[in-house]
């Protein structure tokens, strides 16, 4: 085993709408999402996958893939190279995807480091029917019982 290289652990992987970085260096994740509910498909979506790595040593290549419900078709993928100079360090990576979801189903997010799968999780996309609002009825005047006289 090479003591100068330790494969890192994936500390977290979150799908969100946007990520901002404050002047202090801290990350702000905006709109963390676990699924998409939409009244119709296809739909265009901008999704960010924020990953944080730790307990590693060396240079690495992160790959993030978004898979279709058939679990083999890769809709999109991103790659980020990063380094950890000390196992106590963390590396935060961001992949931004512009996706078009054509049909409902359970999509998957895969996170790999140097071709080693670290995490695979479902990301459902579903059509929701918009509920019809009940017709508005006139409210009784103050002091009158409902239903008239």
Domain architecture of the chain: domains with CATH? 9-127 (2.60.40.1930)
**Is the pLDDT higher at 129 or at 114?**
114
Q: What is the pLDDT of residues 17-30, one digit of tens each?
A: 999 999 999 999 99
For residue 141, pLDDT beyond 80: no
* CB of 110 closer than 8 Å to CB of 67: yes
pLDDT for residue 130: 76
**Is the pLDDT higher at 109 or at 147?**
109
Side-chain half-sphere exposure of 57, counting CA atoms within 13 A: 9
* C-alpha–C-alpha distance, residues 144 and 147, integer Å: 9
Q: Could you tell me which of 144, 105, 94, 108 has the C-alpha nearest to residue 127?
A: 105
When mean pLDDT is compared across 4-18, 27-41, 131-145, the lowest value belongs to 131-145
pLDDT-derived band at 146 (thresholds 50, 70, 90) equals low
Question: Among positive and negative, which fits the CA dihedral 36, 90, 93, 84?
Answer: negative
The mean per-residue pLDDT over the stretch 74-78 comes to 98
* C-alpha–C-alpha distance, residues 113 and 95, integer Å: 14
């Amino acid at each position: 085993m090479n003591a100068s290289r330790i494969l890192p652990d994936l500390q977290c992987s979150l799908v969100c709408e946007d990520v901002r970085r404050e002047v202090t260096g801290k990350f702000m994740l905006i709109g963390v999402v676990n699924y998409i509910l939409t009244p119709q498909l296809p739909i265009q979506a901008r999704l960010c996958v924020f990953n944080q790595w730790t307990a590693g040593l060396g240079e690495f290549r992160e790959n993030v893939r978004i898979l279709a419900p058939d679990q083999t078709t890769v809709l999109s993928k991103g790659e980020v190279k990063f380094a950890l100079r000390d196992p106590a360090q963390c590396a935060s990576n961001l992949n931004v995807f512009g996706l078009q979801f054509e049909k409902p189903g359970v999509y998957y997010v895969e996170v790999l480091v140097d071709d080693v799968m670290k995490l695979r999780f479902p990301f459902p996309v579903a059509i929701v029917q918009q509920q019809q609002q009940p017709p508005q009825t006139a409210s009784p005047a103050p002091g009158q019982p409902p239903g008239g006289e």
